[in-house]
Amino acid sequence: MANESIDKLASKLAESVPQGLRSVRDELENNFRSVLQSGLGKLDLVTREEFEVQQAVLARTRDKLEALESRLASMEAAAAPGKKKKQAAKKKAANK
């Protein structure tokens, strides 16, 4: 999260402080800012741009996987009749 966003949020929190605590408003705003930066700093966040790039990479990977699965299925289907003939020939040879 950008520092500007953190500053705005800390300022809004400080503004929501009751009238009796307005004298410590600046101190509270600094504390809010510090807590927000510390808490958000611990999170493993990515930017929207990084997220969208990874989303596009995942979509391309899924498309490639689907194409490979389809290709494999057609290769297996093409190999299946020849495979059955070979298995039948092996059975005949084993029976002799």
64-83 b/e (C-beta count within 10 Å ≥ 16 → b): eeeeeeeeeeeeeeeeeeee
Domain ranges (residues) in the chain: 1-45, 46-96
4: its two tokens: 């500007």
Question: Residue 2 has what DSSP assignment?
Answer: -
Above 70 in pLDDT, residue 39? Answer: yes
Distance CA 45, CA 35 (A): 17
Average pLDDT, the chain: 83
What pTM does this model have?
0.48
Q: What is the pLDDT of residue 84?
A: 61
Most confident segment among 20-34, 38-52, 57-71: 57-71
Tens of pLDDT, residue by residue over 78-92, are 888 766 666 666 666
